[in-house]
Each structure stands twice: as C-alpha cells, then as structure tokens.
Structure 1
C-alpha cells in the first residue's frame, strides 16, 4: 500500500527511475560475456571425425568389414521394402466418408461505403472486430518493389510528428489487439497478370473500432520517414534474417526462385523475399549512408502511389450489430484517404531467365529444386491436384528421399509443379 501511495503521489517515473539507475544502469556487479565465431571450427570437427573413423576402420578385421557391408545391405533392403498390409492397417487413417463433402460457407455481404467496396462477414467473434484494408499495388514503379517490405515495417516502427515509434506502438497495444502491414502477391487464374496488394490488418474489441480505424489512418498517413538510424537497423536486421533463411530454409528460397522464372507474380514475390531481395538489401545497406534523402523520398513515393480510395477494399468480420455500428468509423477512415483517379498499371512484365542455376552458400546442406509450369501444357486446375501432391510428398518422395536416400525430406506442390528437397552434403538426391 505504501508503494501504491508513493506512485499515486510522485508518479511511476519518480519511484522506479532511481531504482533502475541504481540496480541496473550503475550496478558494478555485472559480467559481460562475448561469444566470437570460429570460422575454422567446422573444418576441425570434420577432420577429427574423419580421423576417428579411419582409426575405427583400421582396427576392424576382414570379418568385421564383411559384417558391416552385410548390415548395410540389410538396412537398405529394409528401407526399400514396402510395409506389409497388416502393418499399414495399424496406422490411423480417415476414409472418404469421414470427410464432409460440403465446404464451410462463410457468410459474405458485399456493400459500398463512400464508393469503396466493403465485404462484411456476420459471424460470432465474442465482440472482437477483425478488419483488413487492402490497397492496390499495381501502379507502383518496378524499381520500388524491393523497398515495399521495409516500407511496411517503417509504417509501424517509425514515429509520427507527435509520437515516437515506442509511443505509437504502446498506443496501438492499449487500444487494439494489434495492427500489421504486409504485401500480398498472387497469380490470377486464367491470366498471366499478377494480383498485388498492400494489406493493413487489425483487430480490436468492437467498442474500440473508432480507435482501430483512427490508428490505422495515423500509421498510413502520419508516420514520418525521417529516422535514418532506425531505418538502417531495419535494413541490417532484414539482411541478417534473409541470410539465416538462406542457410536454414533454402528449399523455400529455391521454390521462390523457380516461381520467379515461371510467372510474373512469382517474380514480384522474389523481389521482396528471395535472393534478389537479399542482393537489394546488401546494396541498400551502403546506400542508407550515402543517399538517405533518396531513400526517404522513395518511401514517400510508395505511400503516395498506394494510398487512394480508388482500388481500395475493406473487409470486416464481426457479428451483425457490431458490423453496423462500425460502418460510420469506416466512412470516416475512407474520407481521410486521398481521392485520385486510377493510375495506369505499371509495367511488371518481368521474369528471371529460364535456366538452371546454382547458388553457393556457406552451409553443409544442399537444397535442390526442380519446377515446370503445367498450365503451359494445357493443364486445368482440379482439386485432386492438392491430394496428389500430398500423396506424393508423404509416400514415394518420403520413402525415396528420406528413408532410402538419407536426405532431410522432399516436397511437391502441384499448381506449378515444384519438387524440392533439403539433402545432406553428399547430394544423393537426383531427378
């Protein structure tokens, strides 16, 4: 009670700031530990393992070697022999009769607020409002595409004229369940044109809908792209994440790279999340120091290109009463957006060269992929494609690549057909 009274009288900063300064900032009883990478460790470990294996082999008799060869053949035969029916029957499974034939139907009402299409889904959400505001990205210049992920991050992690980024995020945390901004790109069935948007997603209690849309507007229109040091951190962090992803998730990078060779939507995604994006970040890290004004202007240009009521779409999910009560806040939000005529689509007719390539990275794992565009051969999409791809991934590929081949695994996706696998350094996987 005494502490509570002090906080009420003096304020939390007056009470806790001296304690933080005394026990944390100026506390001499601390230990600093630095961990330095050893670039030679992997080669030393490999040499030690080889030496140990050579010693073991040298100590083996002819009979030991023959027994080892026999055990290896026996293991390989066991791996390649299909499981007997009685063993397969022990595995839990679903029959077709266990799977509902009818998909779940989401109620959707298509409406209009201030000339903007609005989708409303009347569902029980326990008084939570979920919403997405979608902006058309098709008018964006091609050279600005790799900057879009950093633009999205900057909207949420840079401050406004009146709020630091910390204060802005604290306000979002107090008033809402969170706001996110991210790009979305996909192919359109039956055409080569891409579908590309920036999506602003948020959620709050229905009673906080006014705060939610107000904060969305502040994030989109009031955030200032002026903090050079902060943006430099974004670039360095993004580059480090991409490098880690390249080493630990190279099969995803390979899939994106193949997609970029086969369609425009894949190329756009690769510019914002693949090897091309990593190369962009590496160059941008130097450019931040040499041409910050140019980068800041490019971020503003992206915002100016995206923010418009034209081509905008609002999506909301809540119960009917809360949806009706929220419409006035949506109207206010849309009124604050710039109104400008539709801009001609930018020319994004680009793909990576359709050739084989190898990307050398410092890892002991090889990631291998192969792809083909089935649509070019006249394939028509059917739901069975998803069943087929799952079946191949979980049966033949699993048995051949992981069980028999010794690799980590293999996967198939069938829209474009993509086959890719992380394998051991021996590179045993072949096509």
Structure 2
C-alpha cells in the first residue's frame, strides 16, 4: 500500500498542469458514465424470457414418509439415480446441552477422521474411499415454516452404488458408534487445522461471517449456526486448542457426551433417494443398520436463545477492504414474501449494483431475504468503504418506496427470481431439498402460494417492501469486518459501535 501511494505521488508530480486537467476531465466523464442508466433501447437488445415462458406450477418432489425402524421415520424418493444410493441420516439436536453445541462444528471430522477401535484414521479413509462415493456431515438449524419453532438436525450424508449398500451401512455403524475419540495428538491436529482454516477464511468469506453474525441476534436458528460455523466457532476453537493441554479429561468427556447426544436413532429421519426396485433390495439391510444404532428416550428440547448483538459490531482483521452488512427484521412468513423476493431482485440489480458495486467500488453488493424468519440483510463484498455503504443500505427503503419500475423491469425481476427458485437439481439435491422441506414443514401448497405471489408481483409490492424496511430501521443492526484503523475511525464517529479484534 505504501509503495502504491508513493508511485501515485510520483506520477502526479511528473504531470503538467494541462495533463492534470485532462485526468480530472476523464474522471468526471467516467463518473458520469457510471451514474448514467442504460437506455431502454440498450436494455431491450438483451435476449430474455417472457412471463409466458415461465411454468405456473411449482415442480413437485414426490416423497413418501412412513415409520421405519423403532422410533425413526423413512422419507423415500423414488428417482432415477443410475443405481446410486443417496442416504441422509438426520439426528435431532434438540436436547444437546448448550455448552456442547460448539463441538458440532468439528464432530464431522472427528467421526470420519479420528479412526476407530479397529482402524486408524488412514485405514478408515481408505475404506470410505474404496466402498463409497463419500461421507459428509452438515448441521441444519432453521425455523419451522410459519411457527418459527427451532429445527436443529445433525445430518450424516452418504452415497454408494446400491449393491455396495451393506458395506456402506457397516462403515456408517463403525464411524457412529466405534469412533476413537481418545487420540489426543490426532484431536489436537484436527482442532489446529480447523482453527487455521477458520482464520484463513475470514477475508474470503467475510460477507458470510458478517451475515451470520448479524442474523444470530434475531433468531434461535441463526444463533445456533453462529456457534457452530461462525465467529463464535473460531473463538471456541482457539479456547479448545488450549484446553486440550490443560483439561484433556474434560475435553474427552465433552466429546463423548456430544457424540452420545447426537447419535441416537430416536426421532431420526432416514432420507433415501433411489429408484424403487433397487431400494426394495437394500431396505432390509438398511432397517437392520438403523435398528443397530443407539436408541434411547431423548430429553426434553432445551431452550435456545438469540445472541444480544450491539447496534454496530466492527470486527477487525488486517485487510485493505471491508465486508459490510445491515440486517432488518421484517414480519415473519409475510404473505407478500414471494413478491418481496421479486423486489429484492430488482434492488440487487439496480440500486445495490449501481451504488455499492459500480460507484462504490466494492467487488459485490447484494441482499438476502429469509422469507420465513423475515430477516432482510444487505451485504457488500471486498468493499473499500464502510460508513458510506452503511448509509446506502439505510437508503434502500426510500429507493424502493419511490421506485417506478416499468412493466419490463418488473418482468425481468420476476424471471430472475423464478430462475433462482427453479434452479436445476440432480437427484441427490432433490432428495436433500425435500428432506429440509419435510423437517421445516414447508409444504408443496406453501411453495405454490409463494410462486403465485412471485408471478403476480407488481409495483405496489416494491413500495411495500420499502415501507417495511423503513419501519424496521429502528430494530436494524449492522456489522462489518474491516481494518483496525477503519474500525476505530468509525467508532469515533458512531457512539453505538463495538470493536472486536479477530486477527
């Protein structure tokens, strides 16, 4: 940065008065071009779909749910998969003690990379590679549709050729029930790797971390996700790396308690995507495998709560750019949500693109709308600004309220929104998406209502979203990852700012 400044000063010093005037004129012309909207003729020259090209009905993902092994539910999707079995085991996390929640962030690596009673972690990895198409884990924390009740599941995902299913079930049983958690050196290695990965991802994934940090102050689900995969997880890993040395017995007990609380078939959902003929051939072995898992009465769901976030949280890291965000709590499960998605698309491609990306110089500026919880967030990516961007986010409601999009602009926004909703999915993605819908209670009829509102969006809906953003401004909160210098400068002008050092 210092070398760049010196080079710029040297270049300026070498210019004549006439050349400096030319540069200033070029800058003015460039700014004028940036602020000038595209002409209707230019926009009309871009090929696009019309509303008549969009299917009015939501594509259904057909599934069948039935009681399975004791205390479990089978969710089956009869889809052509070329003989590949896609299996998801969803274990409830409702009764996992709050102090154990952060361990979920590393539980997957522990199950799959610590080794077992009969195999070290290298042998286990080789067995998984030989007999399966891969094993993976993910944590789902979401709000149930309309009720806002917390849905938290730990999901083990697996795939293999259907004729190799018995070997897959054997491996799954091994990693779930016979994992060797008492290898202190291996655990230390995994925790240090996870900590290093979390720290190195702060800059490339800054917008994701900022978004999760803000949202964790509004919903139980996002607060849970923050502890599992956000900045709170990084802070936990730093503490855990030290605690392994000072309190190994306590760490080992926590790991075993976490595994036992999660690996419990009671209340689990067994999600299968495969054609019916092949499924009938593997179903008996699958039932035997599920029946072999621990199955005990779960404790009552524990109370979770959202974080208490400051009005503006500034997280510092050595970076020349910032990641800026503001979250607005709109009404949950608003019946106008489908139309608001269209207005969001318009906002992304006009105001945010022009103001944050083109004129502001950020690599990206966009919004997200979680229509079930109602959280509407604005985010910028690799942004040279901080306070000016926060100011732009605050102006978005006024922009939408005063917007007068043409019918063509509304149609383009509708087409773009449907493109997001109707994203192409392979069979495994269809099965997993259906599982999430099942767990959260988001039914086919709900999705059709959402689609109808998308297709019927109009100018009044754009103004209505603007009004909602303005009404929610008093409850909004912001966060940013930036340099320490920029954070302190912002704090000196904003009395509501809290600065936290990350790196």
Shared fold, TM over 0.5: yes
| Residue in structure 2 matched with residue 162 of structure 1 by the alignment | 118
The runs of 5 or more residues in structure 2 that have no matched partner are: 393-503
Partner residue in 1 for 2:465: none
Residue aligning to 1:68: 23
TM-score, with length taken from structure 1: 0.86
Q: Which residue of 2 aligns with 1:26?
A: none
Q: Which has the higher contact order (CA 8 A, sep 6+)?
A: 2
Once residues 103 and 330 of structure 1 are traced to their aligned partners in structure 2, the CA distance between those partners, rounded to angstroms, is 32
Contact 1:128 1:318 (8 Å CA) reproduced: yes
Per-residue deviation, 1:388? 2.5
* RMSD across aligned positions (CA): 1.6
State how far apart, in whole Å, the 2-side matches of 1:196 and 1:74 are: 54
CA distance in 2, matches of 1:203, 1:67: 63
Query: In the alignment, is residue 87 of structure 1 matched against residue 42 of structure 2?
Result: yes
Task: Say if 2:373 is the partner of 1:418.
Answer: no
Confirm or deny: 8 A CA contact 1:119 1:316 kept in the other structure.
yes
The TM-score normalised by the length of structure 2 is: 0.74
- Mapped contact 2:93–2:154 kept (Cα < 8 A): yes
Per-residue CA deviations over 1:152-189 (Å, capped at 9, x if unaligned) read 21000011111111111211111111111221111223
The one-character-per-residue Cα deviations of 1:228-263 (angstroms, maximum 9, x if unpaired) are: 111111111111111122122211111000110111
In the alignment, which residue of structure 2 is the partner of 1:314? Answer: 270
- Taking structure 1 as reference, are residues 295 and 111 closer, same or farther at Cα in structure 2, changes over 3 Å only? same
SS state of the match for residue 383, structure 1? helix
Query: Is the 1:410–1:421 contact (alpha carbons within 8 Å) kept by the matching residues of 2?
Result: yes
Measure, in 2, the Cα distance between the counterparts of 1:418 and 1:407: 17
Number of the residue aligned with 1:96 = 51
Of 196, 201, 204 in structure 2, the residue corresponding to residue 245 of structure 1 is 201
Deviation at 1:62, TM superposition (A): 2.3
Report the counterpart of residue 74 of structure 2 in structure 1: 118
- Aligned-residue offset at 1:387: 2.6
Does the 8 A contact of 1:192 with 1:264 survive in 2? no
Q: Which moved more, 1:154-163 or 1:285-294?
A: 285-294
**CA deviations over 1:335-359 (Å, ceiling 9, x no partner):** 1122212311112124233521111
Q: Note if 1:358 corresponds to 2:314.
A: yes
Contact preservation (8 Å) 1:262, 1:354: no
Distance (Å, rounded) in 1 between the aligned partners of 2:345 and 2:385:
27
SS in structure 1 at match of 2:313 = coil
Do structure 1's residue 143 and structure 2's residue 103 form an aligned pair? Answer: no
Cα gap change, 1:217 to 1:410, in 2 (>3 Å): same
Matching residue of 1:47: 2
Counterparts of 1:222-371 in structure 2, within 5 Å, are 222-371=178-327
Distance in 1 between residues matched to 2:349 and 2:200, nearest whole Å:
27
> Helix, strand or coil for the counterpart of 2:203?
helix
Cα deviation, residue 366, structure 1: 0.9
Q: What SS does the aligned partner of 1:56 have?
A: helix
Deviation by residue 1:386-408 (Cα, 9 ceiling, x = unmatched)? 33322221222111111111121
- Residue aligning to 2:356: 401
For residues 405 and 225 of structure 1, the distance between their equivalents in structure 2, rounded to whole angstroms, comes to 50
Give the one of 79, 89, 96 matched to 1:133: 89
Q: Which runs of 4+ in 1 moved over 4 A?
A: none
Q: Deviations over 1:17-75 (max 9, x none)?
A: xxxxxxxxxxxxxxxxxxxxxxxxxxxxx222222211221222222222222111111
1:388 matched to 2:343: yes
Matches of 2:359 and 2:199, distance apart in 1: 30
Residues 128/381 of structure 1: CA separation in 2 closer, same or farther (3 Å cut) = farther
Unaligned runs of 5+ in 1: 1-45
Give the Å deviation of 1:381: 5.5
Which whole-Å CA distance do the structure 1 matches of 2:382 and 2:89 have between them? 41
Which shows bigger deviation, 181-190 or 360-369?
A: 181-190
What residue number does 1:207 align with? 163
Aligned length: 385
Alignment of structure 1 residues 367-382 onto 2, 5 Å: 367-375=323-331, 379-380=334-335, 382=337
Residue 144 of structure 1, CA deviation: 0.7
CA contact (8 A) 2:217 2:306 kept: no
Where 1:91 maps in the other structure, the secondary structure is coil
Question: How far apart, in 2, do the equivalents of 1:92 and 1:242 lie?
Answer: 42
Give 2:60's match in structure 1, choosing from 105, 119, 128. 105
Distance in 1 (CA, whole Å) between partners of 2:231 and 2:267 is: 30
Matched residue SS, 1:261: coil
Greater Cα radius of gyration, structure 1 or 2? 1
The 1:426–1:256 alpha-carbon spacing in structure 2 relative to 1, beyond 3 Å, is: closer
> Is the 2:87–2:159 Cα contact (8 Å) retained in structure 1?
yes
Name the CA shift for 1:424/1:120 in 2 (closer, same or farther; >3 Å).
closer
